């Protein structure tokens, strides 16, 4: 947890980003949330959460690219062996 002089905080939580296939891979993400304790940092909170949401979407895209790349590579190996 990070605490600022005004009293506001950034809290963290580990979330699972798997799309339902829990047996194959485990993909966790450290989600950060700005908590506006002082009541004056509303704009900071909105900007922080906007950027955090963008980062999470980029991580989801990265995860999908990784999962698809791995599947394609396995298929190529099988084709070469034949």
| Per-residue model confidence as pLDDT tens digits over 18-53 | 766 655 667 888 999 999 999 899 999 999 999 999
Distance CA 4, CA 38 (A): 10
Token pair belonging to 1:
């947890």
Among the residue ranges 15-19, 50-54, 55-59, the one predicted with the least confidence is: 15-19
Percentage above 90 pLDDT, the chain: 38
Q: Which helix (H) or strand (E) holds 13?
A: strand 9-16
What is the model's pTM?
0.67
Distance CA 47, CA 44 (A): 5
Q: Which helix (H) or strand (E) holds 32?
A: strand 28-35
């Amino acid at each position: 947890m990070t605490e600022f002089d005004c009293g506001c905080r950034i809290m963290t939580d580990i979330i699972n980003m798997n799309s339902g296939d829990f047996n194959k891979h485990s993909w966790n993400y450290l989600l950060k949330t700005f908590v506006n304790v002082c009541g004056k940092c509303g704009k900071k909170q909105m900007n922080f959460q906007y950027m955090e949401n963008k980062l999470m979407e980029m991580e989801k895209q990265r995860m999908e690219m990784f999962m698809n790349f791995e599947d394609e590579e396995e298929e190529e190996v099988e084709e070469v062996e034949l």
